[in-house]
Copies of this chain bind each other. A is one copy, B any other.
Amino acid sequence: MHDELLIKGQAAREAARQLAKLNTAAKNRALQVIAETIMEQEPNILAANDLDIEAGRANGLSEALLDRLLLTAPRLESIANDVKKVANLPDPVGEEFDSRLLPNGLRVSKRRIPIGVVGVIYESRPNVTIDISALCLKSGNAAILRGGKEAIHSNRALAEAVRLGCETAGLPAASVQLIQSTDRSLVRDMLRANGLIDMIIPRGGAALHRFAIENATVPVITGGMGICHLYIDSAADLTKVTPIVVNAKVQRPSVCNALDTLLVHKAVARQILPRVADALGQYGVELRCDEQAMEILHDYPKAKPAAPEDFDTEFMALIAAVKVVENMDEAIDHIYQHSQNHTDGIITEDYSNAMRFVSEVNSSAVMVNASTRFNDGGQFGLGAEVAISTQPLHARGPMGLTELTTYKWVVFGSGQVRE
């Protein structure tokens, strides 16, 4: 194991023990101080960001990636404000639930506690450094952050602001630590740092998630990607179809809850597909169509025949796959075969079809007559999210503060022994 990780891991372990004892007021105060420190450190942070932008330009990063990397005064203010918002969210730590009084008089309940040390491995966007710091601190966890090489100067300056804020507010300096080394083998060490890190959240593309699953001995939260489907049922209200499909595809095409595959019942395909294609066409969306959809959309300039792999592709771009299905069975089967359990939805006015779709499709979020873009912590009212989980264990869908906690059983007795 890299020395840096060993030293920071042990410091994080000790910080986590202290953080777990803090009350909500102390944590909120620290978040306020961190938000102020970020604003005070603005010149340093923006200067550091300049270095990353220059290096990125020299390395030929695309304008889109440079924009993801860029910090500006308004963006930094918005980042600091988000920290204050986290301070205003309810603290899940300490909540007692599933309480019961046993026949022998034992009073038993589950009590929420922090997970401990959370490791986060992420890519270029520097705002993640602050988002994760705020969510981990509010939930009483220590954090070890490993950001992308392209953002290293920005991340160092941001993490330094967090460290200063923690110290000023009386929290352990090691509450949030950024890995300084850009050595790639350190990622593997983080994934295997049992005893030092309790949970790893990879935030990045499919390759990072695969690498994490293959190499981790620490529990990993996987997600943040997946092929999202919308099924237009024969009983769909056609006036709802176009707004939902357009929103799901174009409102922010580069994110994980954007629409990838449109499934259309054959009874309405001729009527609805041209309208949808027209609406999507205004945004330049390319449609990759199965044979039946192609027959309907042959005049549409952005339609082209789909290759089989198009139905297994998360496009992250203004592209959608389109398939005409015989019935809802075929739609549900297609989703079962191709979904990666992120977000899938149905558009229908038929009560039984809506109920059956919601019952049989087991993605992290299943929608009726709503855009797939709603699978999001902010939208669902969690206040913020650290990731979207698509795996079965611990948490599914948007992970907010509560999902950064675990629980212990607390038992109050008066001398009970087991028979």
Q: Given the known inter-chain contacts A415-B370, A417-B244, please indicate yes or no for A380 contacting B406, CB distance below 8 A.
A: no
The answer to whether B370 touches A411, judged by C-beta atoms less than 8 angstroms apart, is yes
Q: Which of B102, B213, B240, B414 contacts A415 (CB 8 A)?
A: B240
Counted per complex, copies of this chain come to 2
Residues of B within 8 A of A366 (CB): 408-411
Residues of B within 8 A of A416 (CB): 369-371, 374
When C-beta atoms are compared, the residue in chain B nearest to A192 turns out to be B214
Q: Given the known inter-chain contacts A251-B418, A370-B416, A415-B244, please indicate yes or no for A409 contacting B365, CB distance below 8 A.
A: yes
The answer to whether A108 touches B381, judged by C-beta atoms less than 8 angstroms apart, is yes
Quote the shortest CB–CB distance from A418 to chain B (angstroms).
4
Q: Which of B100, B102, B418 contacts A373 (CB 8 A)?
A: B418
Residues of B within 8 A of A414 (CB): 240, 369
The answer to whether A371 touches B417, judged by C-beta atoms less than 8 angstroms apart, is yes
How many of chain A's residues touch chain B, expressed as a range?
35 or more
The answer to whether A409 touches B364, judged by C-beta atoms less than 8 angstroms apart, is yes
The answer to whether B417 touches A243, judged by C-beta atoms less than 8 angstroms apart, is yes
Tell me the bound Cα distance from A412 to B351 in angstroms. Answer: 11
Quote the shortest CB–CB distance from A362 to chain B (angstroms).
5
Residues of B within 8 A of A365 (CB): 408-411
The answer to whether B394 touches A393, judged by C-beta atoms less than 8 angstroms apart, is yes
The answer to whether A243 touches B394, judged by C-beta atoms less than 8 angstroms apart, is no
The answer to whether A418 touches B247, judged by C-beta atoms less than 8 angstroms apart, is yes
Quote the shortest CB–CB distance from A53 to chain B (angstroms).
30
Residues of B within 8 A of A243 (CB): 415, 417
Please tell me if A81 contacts chain B, counting CB pairs below 8 Å. Answer: no
The answer to whether A406 touches B418, judged by C-beta atoms less than 8 angstroms apart, is no
Tell me the bound Cα distance from A219 to B212 in angstroms. Answer: 12
Interface string of A172-200 (1 = CB under 8 A from B): 00000000000000000000001000110
The answer to whether A115 touches B367, judged by C-beta atoms less than 8 angstroms apart, is no
The answer to whether A415 touches B381, judged by C-beta atoms less than 8 angstroms apart, is no
The answer to whether A199 touches B392, judged by C-beta atoms less than 8 angstroms apart, is yes
The answer to whether B391 touches A219, judged by C-beta atoms less than 8 angstroms apart, is yes
Please tell me if A265 contacts chain B, counting CB pairs below 8 Å. Answer: no
The answer to whether A415 touches B17, judged by C-beta atoms less than 8 angstroms apart, is no
Please tell me if A116 contacts chain B, counting CB pairs below 8 Å. Answer: yes
Q: Given the known inter-chain contacts A217-B214, A336-B17, please indicate yes or no for A392 contacting B417, CB distance below 8 A.
A: no
The answer to whether B380 touches A108, judged by C-beta atoms less than 8 angstroms apart, is yes
Tell me the bound Cα distance from A21 to B360 in angstroms. Answer: 7
Find residues 150-180 in chain A having any chain B CB closer than 8 Å to their own CB: none
Tell me the bound Cα distance from A111 to B345 in angstroms. Answer: 15
Tell me the bound Cα distance from A418 to B392 in angstroms. Answer: 26
Please tell me if A253 contacts chain B, counting CB pairs below 8 Å. Answer: no
10 interchain pairs, CB-CB under 8 A: A17-B336, A100-B380, A113-B362, A198-B392, A213-B217, A219-B393, A369-B412, A370-B415, A373-B417, A396-B407
